């Protein structure tokens, strides 16, 4: 490599690795695919992970009724919680999903906000957006749309949504501050952020941070609870609440994260009126 052919910054390397990884997941059937490359936040795709076992998705907080109502292919087993259950979504509200994947949380939100509401999914992976749009067509979801974009640069107007949700995605962003600032920007005064994500319970080493596989599997990109709280408050949010989940053995889908001291958490924050 010459001086004129410098490697891209680490942030862009991480972003491109995540985009490539989840593009393969979208076309390979999700975490439950037998394709080695099709692994993600659900773990390593090995036997005993989420593959072929709907109980893992139930462990994350979804009900059997919610899962039964989803279009085929919407649940790729990539989350670490159910962000749509963290708040009481109301009829007529507008919801935006950061890193919407194949659409699972968008479709659940759409049922709660009703025909008079609107749900926007944003994902940076073209294959995921295509898959989600096809799922919306198959399921007849007229009140859901999917937009291609990065969660650090949301394709949405200022103060245009009531609730922002996200499921095990923000940890994948190279920089989390811009993500929270963008969420604050698009929320109307009085709006809420409801996030299921992973947080670190011990320091993560630079070597672990630099491992693209650990980063892309929702592990080494996690921040501590205090770091998440500081970033949310710096973005302007108040009433920040971060609840660590667990207490027993981790869900099979999160065993890889647990080995790094990374656990799932429910995160809520409010945009002041």
Three-point CA angle 99, 250, 68, nearest 5°: 55
Q: Is the pTM of this model over 0.75?
A: yes
Q: Residue 198, Cα to own-chain centre: how many angstroms? A: 10
Q: Give residue 28's pLDDT band: very low, low, confident or very high (50, 70, 90).
A: confident
Q: What is the DSSP letter of 272?
A: -
Cα–Cα distance measured from residue 266 to residue 83, given in angstroms and rounded to the nearest whole number: 8
**What distance in Å separates the CA atoms of residue 93 and residue 74, rounded to the nearest whole number?**
22
> Distance between CA atoms of 29 and 58, rounded to whole angstroms?
19
Averaged pLDDT, 66-79: 92
Tally the C-alpha atoms within 13 A of residue 31's C-alpha that lie toward its C-beta. 32
Question: Could you tell me the fold of the domain covering 10-270?
Answer: Rossmann fold (3.40.50)
Which pLDDT score, from 0 to 100, does residue 10 have? 81
CA distances (Å), origin 20, targets 109, 129, 130, 147, 210 = 27, 14, 15, 18, 17
Pairing relationship of beta strands 238-244 and 223-224 according to DSSP bridges:
unpaired
State residue 53's pLDDT score.
42
Q: What is the pLDDT of residues 170-208, one digit of tens each?
A: 999 999 999 999 999 999 999 999 999 999 999 999 999
Domain ranges of the chain: 10-270
Q: What is the pLDDT of residues 93-151, one digit of tens each?
A: 999 999 999 999 999 999 999 999 999 999 999 999 999 999 999 999 999 999 999 99
Q: What integer pLDDT is reported at residue 98 of this predicted model?
A: 98
Contacts of 253 (CB under 8 A, 6+ apart): 31, 41, 42, 43, 49, 50, 56, 59, 60, 77, 80
pLDDT reading at 39 higher than 60: no
Q: Is the pLDDT of residue 37 over 70?
A: no
């Amino acid at each position: 490599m010459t001086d004129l052919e410098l490697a891209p910054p680490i942030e862009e390397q991480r972003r491109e690795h995540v985009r490539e990884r989840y593009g393969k997941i979208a076309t390979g059937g999700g975490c439950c695919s037998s394709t080695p490359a099709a692994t993600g936040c659900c773990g390593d795709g090995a036997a005993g992970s989420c593959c072929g076992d709907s109980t893992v998705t139930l462990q994350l907080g979804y009900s059997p009724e919610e899962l039964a109502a989803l279009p085929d292919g919407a649940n790729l087993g990539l989350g670490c919680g159910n962000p749509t259950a963290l708040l009481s979504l109301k009829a007529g509200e507008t919801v935006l999903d950061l890193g919407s994947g194949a659409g699972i949380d968008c479709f659940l939100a759409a049922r709660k906000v009703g025909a008079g509401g609107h749900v926007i999914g944003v994902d940076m992976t073209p294959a995921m957006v295509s898959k989600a749009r096809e799922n919306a067509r198959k399921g007849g979801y007229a009140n859901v749309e999917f937009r291609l974009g990065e969660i650090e640069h949301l394709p949405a107007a200022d103060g245009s949504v009531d609730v922002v949700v996200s499921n095990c995605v923000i940890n994948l962003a190279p920089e989390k501050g811009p993500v929270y600032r963008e969420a604050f920007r698009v929320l109307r005064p009085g709006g809420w952020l409801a996030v299921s994500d992973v947080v670190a319970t011990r320091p993560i080493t630079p070597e672990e941070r630099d491992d693209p596989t650990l980063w892309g599997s929702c592990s080494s990109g996690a921040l501590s609870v205090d770091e998440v709280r500081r970033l949310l408050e710096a973005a302007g949010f108040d009433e920040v609440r971060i609840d660590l989940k667990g207490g027993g053995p981790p869900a099979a889908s999160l065993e890889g994260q647990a080995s790094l001291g990374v656990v799932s958490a429910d995160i809520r924050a409010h945009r002041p009126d």
